[in-house]
Chains A and B, each alone.
Chain A
Amino acid sequence: MKIARTVILAGLIAVLFATSALAQGRTPPSQETLKQNRADKVAEEWFTDAGWIDDYDVAREKAKESGKLIFAYFTRTYTP
């Protein structure tokens, strides 16, 4: 049982490593790049035109003030 678990764990780690940026020879993005990716996302038209809020505290505050429900969309700006 313990051996089987170890084999599964080793396999999982191998899969995770194989798909990681390091294994694919890519350099992980710098913090500056990650910050820029995020800034680019919130500057896109779909985001600005519809009035999306990316601050959770502000969204809840506005929901309390207005009595409206929150429509929440979870997305990402990093590449797995």
Chain B
Amino acid sequence: MKKYTKTHEWVEVNEKSATVGISEHAQDELGDIVYVDLPEVGKEVKAGEVLCSVESVKSASDIYAPISGKIIEVNKVLEDAPETVNKSAEGDGWIAKIEISDPSEIDKLLDKTEYDKLVEEEK
């Protein structure tokens, strides 16, 4: 089940690791994505820190790590096809997989209903 951050990232837990990306709403707001500056595999990130940046035609946006842990894989597809994020932000357009260091962080994130409410309020 996906969880969301207030800064529009999503996390999906798969046993010990979690897949991370930006929400459908975030990709729509950003517009055409032309470059994803993928993080380095092996790097340790802390929840709330900058994970990487995503460049749309108009601007660069920081993407924040929803949880703490070591990056174990990045989505290499995005190197040549960054538009995958526009086409499938919450599927094929995932950005990285993070080894979960503190499972309690995930509980603090928003569920789909709470996130949808937040998006609605921001409109």
Asked if A pairs with B, the answer is no
Q: Could you tell me which A residues sit within 8 Å of B by CB distance?
A: none
Q: Could you tell me which B residues sit within 8 Å of A by CB distance?
A: none
